[in-house]
Amino acid sequence: MSDYDRGFTTLTTETATTAAQRAILEHVAAQFGGVPPAAGRMAHSPALFAAFQAGLDAFEHTTLTATEREVIVLVLAREIDCDVCVGIHTAIAARLGERALARTLVEGRTPDDPKLAALARFTEDVWARRGDVQRGTWDAFLAAGYTRAQALEILIGVGTYVTSTFANRLTGAHTRARVTPDSSSAAAASGA
């Protein structure tokens, strides 16, 4: 990964240069008790931040459970190699009572729950094959009780979290905010 400085600063409510940036940062600060570096850098583009927030909202309103959404995000975080995402979403999974599941996913092991195992494999295949899921993976996903609509809903999570991770890398936020699953920064970034 490149480590050169592209000139993005971490905006604050004091350093924001537009009303739109300030509004984003005030909202984030009120929600999390501070502005995580990733948000302070993404706020350089209010349009990107709005798209990311819309993606989060849409993903939260799918028919997938909170645990299923975290399975998807943790598989993506592992596959994309996003330490910040792993930390934040392991903390969220722990709040859901799923710390062991999060560890299993981050380590690349298969979940014990057959339905979640099918979901994890499907997500891996969506990422690795850029959506062209193999027949066996597709059949296992449907046999586990998931629907075609849910296969499409997974793409909301993929798009949203790829946007976030790529923005973090482009702006350098990933190099400035190392988050571990047990850190206060993970709790703050996840809204805990």
DSSP secondary-structure letter at 158? H
Q: Is residue 92 part of a domain?
A: yes
In a domain, 117, yes or no: yes
Question: What is the structure's pLDDT at 173?
Answer: 84
Confidence at residue 91, expressed as pLDDT on a 0 to 100 scale: 94
Per residue of the chain (192 residues), what is the pLDDT tens digit?
Answer: 566 789 899 999 999 999 999 999 999 999 888 898 889 999 999 999 999 999 999 999 999 999 999 999 999 999 999 888 899 899 999 999 999 999 999 999 999 999 999 999 999 999 999 999 999 999 999 999 999 999 999 999 999 999 999 998 899 887 644 444 454 444 444 433
Whether residue 124 lies inside any domain: the answer is yes
Whole-angstrom Cα distance, residue 34 to residue 188?
Answer: 8
The answer for 172, left when phi > 0, alpha when psi is -120 to 50, beta otherwise, is left
Cα dihedral 103, 40, 156, 163, rounded to 10, equals -90
Is 75 a domain residue? yes
Burial class (CB in 10 A: 0-12, 13-18, 19+), 132: exposed
CA separation for the pair 103, 132 (Å, rounded): 27
Q: What is the spatial distance between Cα 67 and Cα 134, in angstroms, rounded to a whole number?
A: 24
Whichever domain contains 99, its CATH number is 1.20.1290.10
Q: Is residue 67 part of a domain?
A: yes
The domain in which residue 95 lies consists of 55-190
- Give the span between the Cα atoms of 135 and 139, in whole angstroms: 6
Cα→Cα distances 117→72, 83, 105, 111, 147, Å: 11, 22, 9, 5, 15
Provide the token pair at 148. Answer: 């075609």
The domain tally of the chain equals: 1
Give the Cβ contact number of residue 114 at 10 Å: 13
Q: Is residue 1 part of a domain?
A: no
Residue 49 maps to a domain: no
* CA distance between the termini of the chain: 30
Structure tokens at 47: 């349009």
Residue 155 within a domain:
yes
With CA atoms as reference, report the closest residue to 69 among 191, 157, 155, 162.
157
Among 61, 91, 86, which Cα is nearest to 74's? Answer: 86
